[in-house]
Amino acid sequence: MAVLLVPAYKPDENMLAFVAEAIQTGRFSAVVCVDDGGGEPYAPLFEQVRKMGAEVLTHAVNLGKGQAMKTGFNHILLHHPGEGVVTADCDGQHTVRDVVRVADELEKMQEVDSLVLGSRKMNKKAPWKSRFGNGITRFAFFLATGFRVYDTQTGLRGFPAGLLPRLMEIPGARYEYEMNMLLSFAREGFQIVEIPIETVYIQNNAGTHFNPVVDALKVFSRLFVFTASSLFCYGADYLLYALLLATHALPLWLSYGGARLVSSTLNFYINRKLVFKAQDGSIAGQLLRYYLLVAFVLLLGMIGVDLFCRLGMSGYVAKLLVDILLYMLSFVGQRLLVFRPGVVKRKNP
């Protein structure tokens, strides 16, 4: 059995129908609704779901979806210990059938470091904002983490009981919490199981609070840190390269290689600690994979610099151009090959 958690801010009649049907299935040991500070006008709705048998928790003021979820998790830890949790939105966009499917998939899990996502089908019938927003964050999320998650914005999620204390520690009080959650899980190598679900779009999804630009920037934050790390190390790399080139003591390719060897070691430790936060992995294995990637990128770089110089370009300009071209290859290579992410599995309907 699992507990169904429904965070709600200023809900409408859709919540009543959803909670009533969920209770009637008998699939959940409890249904917990969190009133996120809607105030007196919405108190009658929550009183009705309480009479249906749901447990209602109330915020005096609006604290945000993330905090409402944490309030629910805390309540479940105290009053329903050992129970997994399925979260669902209150606006009727998730069918009870799909909520039950997520609960069934959750029960099959044996590991604490796993979770279930109910992933919406983004077909042509979906509102453009949902298709556009999910497309941006899906691509950005993959670049930043190496995870291919089809629906990063879904509110239908299943968590094993042992994961709840960790969920309480993840930062975020509002809609950013759900993205922070996935970013944390990706960094820690969790297994994510995705099952396709039906989505009911109400009034063309006009009530959604999802901001694709804000969420994409949040996902790209790791890429920004990677860029800062790269620029810092690149400064050291280029300075050493210029000094070696100016002395005429070493040939062009050896100046390039020597500078890159020094800067790459510094880059490895910065990226391991600050960018991908993979300190728990085997440093020997990571270092080996890192330098195999460096060797490959270095080879491409030396070939590129030599080629551009043969075409009459300055050696200084040639290096700048080649390294810009190899920048994204290096990031994706480190994310996928050096600091490996976890696993995402998808289930058929």
Query: Considering only CA atoms, which of 238, 252, 255, 332 is closest in space to residue 293?
Result: 332
Q: Which of 55-64, 250-259, 319-328, 333-342 has the highest mean pLDDT?
A: 55-64
Decide if pLDDT at 235 tops 80: yes
pLDDT (0 to 100) of residue 201: 58
pLDDT (0 to 100) of residue 214: 59
pLDDT (0 to 100) of residue 284: 86
Decide if pLDDT at 259 tops 80: yes
| pTM exceeds 0.85, yes or no | no
Query: Considering only CA atoms, which of 107, 80, 90, 113 is closest in space to residue 33?
Result: 90
Between 245 and 25, residue with greater pLDDT: 25
Decide if pLDDT at 196 tops 70: yes
Decide if pLDDT at 206 tops 60: no
194 three-state secondary structure? strand
For residue 345, what are the β-bridge partners?
193
Between 156 and 175, residue with greater pLDDT: 156
pLDDT band at 102 (very low <50, low <70, confident <90, very high): very high
The stretches of the chain forming alpha helices (DSSP H) are 13-25, 43-52, 65-79, 96-108, 128-145, 164-169, 176-187, 212-219, 221-247, 252-270, 283-310, 315-333
Between 340 and 15, residue with greater pLDDT: 15
Rounded to an integer, what distance in angstroms lies between the CA atom of residue 325 and that of residue 191?
32
pLDDT (0 to 100) of residue 233: 84
pLDDT (0 to 100) of residue 330: 82
Residue 329: other Cβ atoms inside 10 A: 13
Decide if pLDDT at 248 tops 80: no
Token couple for 142: 């993959």
Between 174 and 85, residue with greater pLDDT: 85
Decide if pLDDT at 220 tops 90: no
Decide if pLDDT at 262 tops 90: no
Question: Mean pLDDT of all residues in the chain?
Answer: 83
Domains and CATH numbers, the chain: 2-219 (3.90.550.10), 222-338 (no CATH)
Decide if pLDDT at 349 tops 50: no
Read off the pLDDT of each residue in 277-294 and give the average, rounded to a whole number: 81
Rounded to an integer, what distance in angstroms lies between the CA atom of residue 64 and that of residue 60?
12
Decide if pLDDT at 311 tops 60: yes
Rounded to an integer, what distance in angstroms lies between the CA atom of residue 261 and that of residue 259?
6
pLDDT (0 to 100) of residue 128: 61
pLDDT band at 70 (very low <50, low <70, confident <90, very high): very high
* 10-24, 179-193, 210-224, range with the lowest pLDDT: 210-224
* 2-6, 26-30, 295-299, range with the lowest pLDDT: 295-299
Q: What is the pLDDT of residues 123-141, one digit of tens each?
A: 666 666 666 667 777 777 7
pLDDT (0 to 100) of residue 37: 95
pLDDT (0 to 100) of residue 204: 47
Decide if pLDDT at 271 tops 60: yes
Read off the pLDDT of each residue in 301-316 and give the average, rounded to a whole number: 89
Q: Which of 22-31, 112-121, 329-338 has the highest mean pLDDT?
A: 22-31
pLDDT (0 to 100) of residue 133: 65
